[in-house]
Amino acid sequence: MAQIKDKELDKVRQKIDLVDRTILESVEERFELVNDIVRIKKSKGLPIRDLEREEEVIKSKFALTELSEEFVAKLYRLIIDESVRMKEDS
């Protein structure tokens, strides 16, 4: 399918690109903070994974948005799963 060239579309697409960049930067910052959490937990001899806390984090986000709870839960489970993978690799 040929790409449609339209100034109005291009302007909105540029805004989407900016939002996407912001999302990725925020997720990267979150992962850096997870590394801090891992370091603190290791120094205190605490377990790295806290399933109860993970569920609290997910559920606490529902009130922050009008997005569906299903979507928010999937998004945060994906983020948390990647955080866990990163913890295991460190």
| pLDDT given for residue 75 in this prediction | 98
- What pLDDT is recorded for position 1? 54
Structural domain boundaries in the chain: 7-89
DSSP alpha helices (H): ranges in 1-90? 7-44, 51-61, 69-89
Cα angle: 15, vertex 21, 26; to 5 degrees: 125
Q: Give residue 86's pLDDT.
A: 82
CATH code for the part of the protein at 7-89: 1.20.59.10
pLDDT score, position 80: 94
At residue 17, the pLDDT reads: 98
Extract the residue ranges of the chain whose pLDDT is less than 70.
1-4, 90
Q: Residues 38, 48: contact at Cβ < 8 Å?
A: yes
Q: What is the pTM of this model?
A: 0.83
Cβ–Cβ under 8 Å, residues 82 and 31? yes
